[in-house]
Amino acid sequence: MTRKLVRFDWALKRLLRNKANFDVLEGFLSELLREDVRIKQILESKGNKETWDDEFNRVDILVENEKGELVIVEIQNTREADYFQRMLYGTAKVITEHMTEGQPYAEVKKVYSVNIVYFDLGQGDDYVYHGTTHFIGLHSHTELALSARQREMFQKTTVSELYPEYYIIKTNRFDEVARDTLDEWIYFLKTAEIKEEFTAKGLKAASQKLDVLKLDPADRKAYERYLEAQRDEASFALTVRAEVEAAVQEALQEAVQGAVQEAVQEAVAQEKGQIAEQALREGATVQFVARITGLSLQEVQAIADKLKSGGP
């Protein structure tokens, strides 16, 4: 038995910013990052302000955990070819926004960029990707490591831990078979459903707090408007795609027909030229040859002149 819940992107925008609901987002991040995440606060940055265009296509939230690290969670519903660069820009912007003038670089905050996309981003057969920064020697092929003093100073064991980390969850690639607790969350992200046997952190809270039937009237009305907008968006995208495909197909057909017609005309003209040449060799007049082949007098005369000159 499954329970129908509100979509995670809408919940992230309307419900999960409430401190009383932090346990839902904490559960998701704990399963993804493989550590016990506790949210200290939800932050606002210039990069995650809502706009009219963002209302249905994307939503993001900036979280500070108890370790002082920053986590960007972004959900993107529509295709963006430059989304990889958007991820990079987002982390860079968050880093600079949380540095004050005169701070040493050692104070740069660790940033996690968590991206849940509902389109096929890039090429790859997996549905969860993790990106980190490593420095590898060109000659020795060994990885650059922190010194003992740096490990003590930064409380990190590797250089990559100092840099932003990126997670990409491609929901459309998920086959809806939950093999572990993270998959249980991805199942929810894709279907807005939670199965009774799921045990992932935060899902029990989500099943209670994100139940459509438990929304107050204002939230439920807002959610219904959101779903309607999503359907309109999907319908519009489908219509545009169908129109583009039809236009391409028509153009291809016209191109093929044009190429075939041109080839036929060229073959017919070549055949007429050969007939005209043979008739002229046998003594037929230019006027007669023009009449039987359909070529103009000028065209037949040009063939006759070529024969007289000994041309090929």
The answer to whether the predicted template modeling score (pTM) of the entire model surpasses 0.75 is no
Q: What is the pLDDT of residue 35?
A: 95
The model's pLDDT over 24-67, given as tens digits with 9 standing for 90+, comes to 999 999 999 999 999 999 986 544 444 434 445 667 899 999 99
Residue ranges covered by each domain of the chain: 2-215, 248-308
Comparing CA positions, the residue from 61, 68, 77 lying closest to residue 25 is 61
Task: Count CB neighbours of 94 within 10 A.
Answer: 23
Q: Decide if 50 contacts 69 (C-beta within 8 A).
A: no
pLDDT(145) > 80: yes
Give the alpha-carbon dihedral of 283, 288, 294, 297, to 10 degrees: 90
The model's pLDDT over 192-204, given as tens digits with 9 standing for 90+, comes to 999 999 999 999 9
Name which of 100-109, 149-158, 294-303 the model is least confident about. Answer: 294-303
The model's pLDDT over 238-279, given as tens digits with 9 standing for 90+, comes to 676 677 677 777 777 877 787 878 887 888 888 888 888 888
What residues contact residue 301 under an 8 Å CB cut-off, 6+ apart? 286
- The type of residue at 165 is E
Q: What is the pLDDT of residue 200?
A: 97
The model's pLDDT over 154-186, given as tens digits with 9 standing for 90+, comes to 999 999 999 999 999 999 999 999 999 999 999
If DSSP codes are grouped into helix, strand and coil, which group holds residue 60?
strand
Q: Give the mean pLDDT of the chain.
A: 86
Biggest alpha carbon–alpha carbon distance for the chain: 105
- Average pLDDT in the 61-74 region? 94
Q: Decide if 71 contacts 114 (C-beta within 8 A).
A: yes
Q: What is the pLDDT of residue 201?
A: 97
pLDDT(132) > 50: yes
pLDDT(153) > 90: yes
The model's pLDDT over 83-113, given as tens digits with 9 standing for 90+, comes to 999 999 999 999 999 988 888 999 999 999 9
Residue 68 tokens, joined: 């002082």
Q: How far apart (Å, rounded) are the C-alpha atoms in residues 222 and 236?
A: 21
What confidence tier does 236 reach under pLDDT thresholds 50, 70, 90?
low
Element (H, E) at 125: none
